[in-house]
A = this chain, B = another copy of it.
Amino acid sequence: MTVHHFEPTQYYTTIGSHAPALVVEDGDTVVTTTVDAHGQGASGDQVTPPGNPMTGPFYVRGAEPGDTLAVTFDKLTPNRPHGWSRKMVAPNVVEPEHVPFLPWPADEAKAYAIWQVDNAAATVTLIDPADTSIGSLTLPINSMVGCFGVAPADGQAISTATSGQHGGNMDYRGYGEGVTAYLPVFVEGALFHIGDGHALQGDGEIVGTGVEISFDVQFTVRVIKGLRSRWPRGENGEYIFTAGNARPLDQAVQHATSEMLLWLNADYGLDAVGAHILMGQCVEYDLGNIYDPAYTMICKVSKRFLPAR
């Protein structure tokens, strides 16, 4: 159980079978940093070109196709005092007739709001933009990883703008500190990538961003041999959950629900009828994102209604 301190020197805007940046063992912990979606780091400087640049990939020894990689996000700490968000709900999120009435910014420079991020106070405060009377606005911090994943199958290199069975840009605010994510392994070593930190984000990432910021990150990896998963999963103190990434949202729901049914059957000893009855009255869904090329829907079941694993 080594703790690796890793300083990234290269970033990727695809998730794929890139040369490993670091080789770690099953159970190891990595302490590293991520730049924001625009490629800006802790100092605010441009470290790498924009487009959700990823730190990694991390090769996890022992991980093979057919296994599942568990990654616990031990710490997700904004490492600079300012984040940014876009200011307009994306046109695909409102009625088509409503689109011309959106507050289109006069130019790209006016498209962004700046937020002060205070780790000690655990708050995110809007710095009063000139073009609205909303004034200041202080919200509770909720650090989360917008984009992370493992190398996909078949030699693909998938843009960090989108997501799939390998994870990717799911932009789900439930992938926060203390959460364990599970990812199907497609290639030897899994090749875990991470980046695109948000100090806060609403459901759906409907303005196309959270409060985008660079992070100090600590995560721990674990290989679950022989556990076949097909879509990203997750777990926190209260819930287990699955992620479906697709368009339209209906299809994302189908993937997440099917994956949850498989999980309940395989790991909780629930037969099909039992799992269906339970989910019918207990299931919850979260809208991860409705902005990226693939949308994300989350299917959740509270652990208090589940038998022991």
State the A residues within 8 Å of B (CB).
13-14, 16, 51, 85-104, 113, 124, 126, 129, 131-134, 137, 139, 154-159, 200-207, 209-211, 246-251, 253-255, 257-258, 261, 270-287, 290, 295, 297, 305
Contact = CB atoms under 8 A, between A and B. Distances in A.
A276 B139 contact: no
A202 to B, nearest CB: 4
A197 B246 CA distance: 28
Q: How many copies does the complex hold?
A: 4
A306 to B, nearest CB: 10
A206 B254 CA distance: 11
Nearest to A273: B132
B257 A253 contact: no
Contacts of A101: 272
Nearest to A164: B293
Contacts of A271: 132-134
Contact of A129 (B96, B201, B273, B286): B273
**Which of A87, A272, A284 has the most chain B CB within a 10 Å cutoff?**
A272
25 contacts: A13-B155, A51-B154, A88-B276, A89-B280, A94-B257, A95-B258, A96-B96, A98-B254, A100-B100, A103-B273, A131-B273, A134-B270, A134-B271, A134-B278, A137-B277, A200-B281, A202-B284, A204-B285, A246-B247, A247-B248, A247-B251, A248-B251, A249-B249, A253-B287, A287-B287
A254 B93 contact: yes
The 5 lowest CB-CB distance pairs between A and B, nearest first, are A134-B274, A207-B280, A91-B96, A132-B273, A249-B249
